[in-house]
Chain A
Amino acid sequence: KNQVEQSPQSLIILEGKNCTLQCNYTVSPFSNLRWYKQDTGRGPVSLTIMTFSENTKSNGRYTATLDADTKQSSLHITASQLSDSASYICVVTDIMFSGGYNKLIFGAGTRLAVHP
Chain B
Amino acid sequence: GAVVSQHPSWVICKSGTSVKIECRSLDFQATTMFWYRQFPKQSLMLMATSNEGSKATYEQGVEKDKFLINHASLTLSTLTVTSAHPEDSSFYICSAREGVNQPQHFGDGTRLSIL
B107 touches A101 (CB 8 A): no
Counting CB contacts under 8 A, is B46 at the interface?
yes
Residue from A45, A49, A101 within 8 A of B32 (CB atoms): A101
Nearest Cβ distance between residue A90 and chain B, in whole angstroms?
9
Chain A residues positioned under 8 Å from B111 (CB to CB)? 41
What are the interface flags for A12-46 relative to B under an 8 Å C-beta threshold, 1 for contact and 0 otherwise? Answer: 00000000000000000000001010000111111
Assembled-state Cα–Cα distance A106/B38 (Å):
11
Chain B residues positioned under 8 Å from A46 (CB to CB)? 103
B41 touches A43 (CB 8 A): no
Q: What band does the interface of chain A fall in when counting residues whose beta carbon is under 8 Å from B?
A: 20 to 34
B108 touches A42 (CB 8 A): yes
A43 touches B109 (CB 8 A): yes
Chain A residues positioned under 8 Å from B46 (CB to CB)? 103-104
B100 touches A100 (CB 8 A): yes
Nearest Cβ distance between residue B26 and chain A, in whole angstroms?
14
Query: Residue on A with the closest CB to B91?
Result: A41
Which of B41, B42, B95 has most A Cβ within 10 Å? B41
Assembled-state Cα–Cα distance A89/B95 (Å):
15
Stretch at the interface among A52-60, A66-74, A107-115: A107-115
Counting CB contacts under 8 A, is B79 at the interface?
no
Counting CB contacts under 8 A, is A102 at the interface?
yes
Contacts known (A101-B100, A102-B100); A42 close to B109, Cβ less than 8 A: yes
Query: Residue on A with the closest CB to B51?
Result: A101
Residue from A41, A100, A107 within 8 A of B43 (CB atoms): A107
A108 touches B42 (CB 8 A): yes
Chain B residues positioned under 8 Å from A103 (CB to CB)? 46
What are the interface flags for B14-43 relative to A under an 8 Å C-beta threshold, 1 for contact and 0 otherwise? Answer: 000000000000000000101000000111
Assembled-state Cα–Cα distance A36/B34 (Å):
17
Counting CB contacts under 8 A, is B112 at the interface?
no
Chain B residues positioned under 8 Å from A111 (CB to CB)? 41
Q: List residues of chain A with CB under 8 Å of any chain B CB.
A: 34, 36, 41-46, 49, 89, 100-104, 106-109, 111
A-B residue pairs in contact (CB < 8 Å), sample of 5: A45-B106, A49-B103, A102-B100, A108-B42, A111-B41
